[in-house]
Amino acid sequence: MQYTNAFVERFIQPIQQECLDHFIVFGEQHMDHLVNEFVDFYHEERPHQGKENELLTPGETQPDVLSIDSVNCRERLGGVLKHYHRQAA
């Protein structure tokens, strides 16, 4: 049981610090929206140090050097969560 707690605690810390600390939650639906947006961000856009800063769900490979013109920013939750990605060629 302690093994599972370590995984849960490791997820609770980033959701609290990176998301919930920036909002006043107004009800269950609002909390569900915040958590769902963070979970999508966590799995699809946030790099993870335990995976050598790779994504949990790998997408396309990124080149080593990018020009500033080819980088776009995707924001979630009013800009609290940001993900920078390469513009499609």
Q: Where are the domains of the chain?
A: 2-86
Closest CA to 13 of 44, 38, 47, 40: 38
pLDDT at 43: 78
Looking at the chain, the number of H-run helices and the number of E-run strands are 2, 2
Is a pLDDT exceeding 90 seen at residue 88?
Answer: no
Average pLDDT, the chain: 76
**pLDDT tens per residue, range 61-78:** 555 555 666 778 888 888
Which pLDDT band, with edges at 50, 70 and 90, does 29 fall under? very high
Mean pLDDT of 31-54: 77
Q: What is the pTM of this model?
A: 0.59
CB atoms within 10 A of CB 25: 13
